[in-house]
């Protein structure tokens, strides 16, 4: 019977496919890994994956943006996929590849139900004080607000702590922070898009919106060119002129690499301080993500800039988005 078959969780991006296969009964992990591939190779790689693992009874996907409409585990169909396409402009590095993966699986395993869990879901229900842009009401009514991302990572991490005032630093190729009070998201650095907030590997993070106007109006860049610059040529790559890879920059003796790292450390510490204002201080600061977990040098430099704070606990903890998705799907569907 289908209900006795495993759950396959997929996290499909523009350059990789992360997967994990779980026993649907006890959620023990049966198999998992990461496949690096270009977008035009993804269907071939997914097909190969399905051929070499046990047949799943359920499929679950990480979908980056669900807007206000999708706040819970959602059974996917073509109508809902069309609805989710409207969020592609807000997450161009993620959303189209997430949705393509669903459609590929629908062709390969058309009889298997597919579910979505959303990175925006964890941040729903926040006070409008933290989710509103200072723009006219007619624009706010169009859904232009701060959504926040990395929610599956934050939900997993928050479940491991009882701290009242918790700040989580998810630092990897994409970077953001979340301030939590009693396990609930209060504030976060990403906004309408996953471009906002901290500088990242190739994404700019916070910039003056007037810079975008200047690029378009005076330097005559097209919107597509601006999008390419801000998403793919900025951040650590743009600052250093060398690479967006934090490891490459840390291994370099080029002054530009050190400047990029110093900039990242400063901005991250500043944003942690801002998050602390939102929840009235820090009891625990958690570092997660590839950079947060593995770079002691960057962690210590960030903490040095926060040394004026009253003492707080610092924890390094791997995230587990795939297991979080499995937990949410199991809780959200009736498979009895």
Residue with tokens 């996953």: 194
Residues 94, 194 contacting (CB under 8 angstroms)? yes
CA distance 156 to 196: 22
Residues 161, 204 contacting (CB under 8 angstroms)? no
CA distance 11 to 231: 20
Active site residue 119: yes
CA distance 212 to 246: 26
| Residue 57, C-beta contacts closer than 8 angstroms, at least 6 positions apart | 1, 2, 3, 4, 5, 6, 7, 24, 112
Catalytic residue among 119, 162, 196, 253: 119
Structure tokens at 217: 């109006």
Residues 219, 184 contacting (CB under 8 angstroms)? no
CA distance 226 to 221: 6
Q: Collapse the DSSP code of 31 into the 3-class scheme (helix H, G, I; strand E, B; otherwise coil) and give the result.
A: strand
CA distance 298 to 257: 13
Positions marked catalytic: 119
């Amino acid at each position: 019977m289908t209900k006795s078959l495993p759950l396959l969780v997929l996290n499909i991006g523009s350059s990789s496919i992360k997967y994990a296969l779980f026993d649907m009964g006890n959620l023990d992990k049966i198999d998992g890994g990461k496949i690096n591939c270009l977008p035009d190779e993804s269907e071939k790689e997914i097909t190969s994956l399905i051929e070499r693992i046990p047949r799943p009874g359920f499929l679950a996907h990480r979908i980056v943006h669900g807007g206000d409409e999708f706040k819970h585990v959602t059974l996917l169909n073509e109508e809902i996929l069309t609805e989710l396409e409207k969020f592609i402009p807000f997450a161009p590095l993620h959303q189209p590849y997430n949705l393509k993966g669903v459609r590929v699986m629908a062709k390969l395993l058309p009889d298997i139900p597919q579910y979505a869990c959303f990175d925006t879901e964890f941040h729903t229900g926040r006070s409008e004080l933290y989710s509103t842009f200072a723009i006219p009401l007619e624009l706010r009514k169009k859904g232009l607000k701060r959504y926040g991302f990395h929610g599956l990572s934050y939900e997993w991490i928050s479940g491991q702590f009882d701290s009242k005032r918790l700040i989580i630093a998810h630092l990897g190729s994409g970077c953001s922070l979340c301030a939590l009070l009693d396990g609930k998201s209060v504030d976060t650095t990403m906004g309408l898009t996953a471009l906002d907030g901290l500088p990242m590997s190739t994404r700019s993070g916070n910039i003056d919106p007037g810079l975008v106007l200047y690029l378009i109006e005076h330097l005559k860049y097209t919107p597509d060119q601006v999008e390419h610059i801000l998403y793919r040529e900025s951040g650590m790559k743009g600052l250093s002129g060398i690479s967006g890879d934090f490891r490459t920059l840390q291994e370099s003796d080029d002054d530009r690499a050190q400047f990029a790292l110093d900039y990242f450390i400063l901005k991250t510490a500043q944003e942690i301080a801002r998050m602390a204002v939102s929840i009235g201080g820090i009891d625990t600061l958690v570092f997660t993500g590839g950079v947060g977990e593995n770079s002691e040098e960057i962690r210590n430099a960030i903490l040095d800039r926060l040394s004026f704070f009253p003492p707080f606990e610092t924890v390094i903890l791997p995230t587990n988005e795939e297991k979080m998705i499995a937990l949410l799907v199991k809780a959200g569907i009736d498979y009895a």
